[in-house]
Amino acid sequence: MLIEKVIRFSIGVTLVAALAGCTIHPAGENAEREAALQAGKPFTRPAEDKDLPPLPDDPKPDDLVRYALLRNADLEQRYWEWRSAIEQIPQDGTQASTLALSAGTTITKGKASAGSSNIGVLNDPMTDIHWPGTLATAAQRSLENARSAGFRFCKAQYELRNKVLSAYADLALGADLIRLEQADVELLQTTAMVVEARNRAGSAGQQDLLKARNELDLSRNNVANIQSQLPTLRAALNALLSREPDAPLATPAGLPPPRPMSLSDAQLLDLAARQNPGLAALAADIRARHEGTELARLQYVPDFNVSFSTDLMGIAQSLAGSATIPLLRYQAINASIAQAEANLKASEAMRRQAQNDLNSQVVMDIAILRDADRQLDVFEHIVLPRARQVVTVGRSAYETGQSTLVDFLDSERSLIAVQRLIANLRSTREKRLADLEAVTAQGLSEVTR
């Protein structure tokens, strides 16, 4: 008899527990968790405990990108936001109601008996049990939100690479410009000495001397101005690496060799449309909004409660249930459905505009990149060789007495001006190429291998 009582009560406990405590895991949750675990290995240890390989004494751009991907705090924040979004999935897929136990007895003339005492199990009466379809929809919505967070983490990786490469290009350009400006200063010092000597000899006026000295002082000021910017550029790059602003970082000897761009304009636009992680995140947001709309409609489905009790003698058992029908909430439910549909349409409009903005950005980057390539081709293969030839001819003319030293130095300064323009074009090209690689999701795998 006792065994029968235990069996009956166990059945009731199992029934209520199954209804109140089940968790629904949507397909794809495990894959998302595994992807996050693999991507987050650099962030599983506190920043102060990370044992990272030091930067080389003369780090190359890929060395800096690799280091930043392991240390950057903004990127780590995106990762933990992704992990947080994943942990929302089982929360939304689990019944909010909990298991409750009840016990009671009837006291008659000061006495209680097993027949008048009972014990019961029920879900929390303050929280209804939701229909399993509601939980499944809520969990699916959370999964799409988690996928969106994962794509935004991926986007942050490409944007970080873009920022590091651009900061390195600025620092390298500064080093190149300082070298060129110092060469210009040396030429202007020589020019000023020659003009001063000619002025003393009476073959050059005071105006020429003042002009030469002004040019020299302005060139020295340009050198000092660029040198003053180097600590700022170095601090900006160190910030991306999560290092102290004044951490030692070697100044590049010059801009890195130009990297080729073998893709056509149409291929770049196609890659941006298919692979851009920002667009993928917005697409996941739209899927989450779809699930949110369905979740709003499921508010029409009644919630319910269930309880099971038995007297201590096992003679009588009671199984009861109730449903919460939202008859008086139809206006609120209608409004929530309309709101969810409006949010969905807003997300779809945002996705379309993001696509348009991205296409515009890609077209602009391509135009600037192609124009930089065109100008570099002209200056490096036509203008620069010609300017060097002018210097050579000017040197010969000066050595044979057919021209003055000032004329020769002017040709040297023209050569420096061409080299300065080439350095700026190469820096612009490098930054636009990095931007294109970020929006088309290119270049990261080579660094992380």
Torsion of CA 273, 276, 277, 280, to 10 degrees: 0
Strands of the sheet with 99-105, listed across from one edge: 99-105, 117-123, 303-311, 317-324
How confident is the model at residue 15, as a pLDDT? 47
Q: Which of 47, 44, 114 is nearest to 83 (CA)?
A: 44
pLDDT confidence band for 64 (50 / 70 / 90)? very high
User: When comparing pLDDT for 77 and 194, which is higher?
Assistant: 77
Of the listed ranges 2-6, 197-201, 365-369, 404-408, the least confidently predicted one is 2-6
Alpha-carbon distance of 269 to 262, in angstroms, equals 14
Residue 326 main-chain phi, psi, to 5 deg: -80, 55
Q: Work out the percent of the chain whose per-residue pLDDT is above 90.
A: 51
pLDDT for residue 389 is more than 60:
yes
> How wide is the angle at C-alpha 247 spanned by C-alphas 241 and 252, nearest 5°?
80
Residue 293 main-chain phi, psi, to 5 deg: -65, -45
Instruction: Report, as an integer, the average pLDDT of 77-87.
Output: 96
Q: Mind listing the domains of the chain with CATH numbers?
A: 2-448 (1.20.1600.10)
Q: Which amino acid is at 316?
A: A
Pairing of strands 117-123, 303-311: antiparallel
How confident is the model at residue 83, as a pLDDT? 95
**pLDDT one-digit tens code per residue, 198-254:** 777 776 667 777 877 888 898 899 999 999 999 999 999 999 999 999 999 988 888
pLDDT confidence band for 302 (50 / 70 / 90)? confident
Alpha-carbon distance of 324 to 302, in angstroms, equals 5
pLDDT for residue 194 is more than 70:
yes
pLDDT confidence band for 51 (50 / 70 / 90)? low
The answer to whether 121 and 307 are in contact (CB under 8 A) is yes
pLDDT confidence band for 9 (50 / 70 / 90)? very low
Burial label, 12 (beta-carbon count in 10 A; 0-12, 13-18, 19+): buried
How confident is the model at residue 229, as a pLDDT? 92
Beta bridge partners of residue 119, listed in sequence order = 103, 310
User: When comparing pLDDT for 367 and 130, which is higher?
Assistant: 367
Of the listed ranges 34-43, 188-197, 330-339, 396-405, the least confidently predicted one is 396-405
pLDDT confidence band for 42 (50 / 70 / 90)? confident
Q: Which of 139, 137, 103, 131 is nearest to 305 (CA)?
A: 131
pLDDT for residue 8 is more than 60:
no
User: When comparing pLDDT for 105 and 73, which is higher?
Assistant: 73
> How wide is the angle at C-alpha 166 spanned by C-alphas 160 and 167, nearest 5°?
90
The answer to whether 172 and 426 are in contact (CB under 8 A) is no
Alpha-carbon distance of 344 to 332, in angstroms, equals 18
> How wide is the angle at C-alpha 352 spanned by C-alphas 351 and 353, nearest 5°?
90
Q: Which amino acid is at 198?
A: R
Alpha-carbon distance of 119 to 207, in angstroms, equals 110
User: When comparing pLDDT for 99 and 336, which is higher?
Assistant: 336
Beta bridge partners of residue 102, listed in sequence order = 120
Q: Which amino acid is at 95?
A: Q
Instruction: Report, as an integer, the average pLDDT of 30-50.
Output: 84
Alpha-carbon distance of 443 to 448, in angstroms, equals 9
Q: Token pair of 74, please?
A: 């903004």
Torsion of CA 162, 164, 165, 169, to 10 degrees: 130
Instruction: Report, as an integer, the average pLDDT of 162-189.
Output: 92
Torsion of CA 42, 45, 47, 51, to 10 degrees: -70
User: When comparing pLDDT for 130 and 423, which is higher?
Assistant: 423
SS3 for the chain is CHHHHHHHHHHHHHHHHHHHHCECCCCCHHHHHHHHHHHCHHHCCCHHHCCCCCCCCCCCHHHHHHHHHHHCHHHHHHHHHHHHHHHHHHHHCECCCCEEEEEEECCECCECCHHHEEEEEEECCCCCECCHHHHHHHHHHHHHHHHHHHHHHHHHHHHHHHHHHHHHHHHHHHHHHHHHHHHHHHHHHHHHHHHHHHHHHCCCCHHHHHHHHHHHHHHHHHHHHHHHHHHHHHHHHHHHCCCCCCCCCCCCCCCCCCCCCCCCHHHHHHHHHHHCHHHHHHHHHHHHHHHHHHHHHHHHCCEEEEEEEEECCCCCEEEEEEEECCHHHHHHHHHHHHHHHHHHHHHHHHHHHHHHHHHHHHHHHHHHHHHHHHHHHHHHHHHHHHHHHHHHHHHHHHHCCCCCHHHHHHHHHHHHHHHHHHHHHHHHHHHHHHHHHHHCCCCHHHHHC
Torsion of CA 377, 169, 436, 68, to 10 degrees: 150
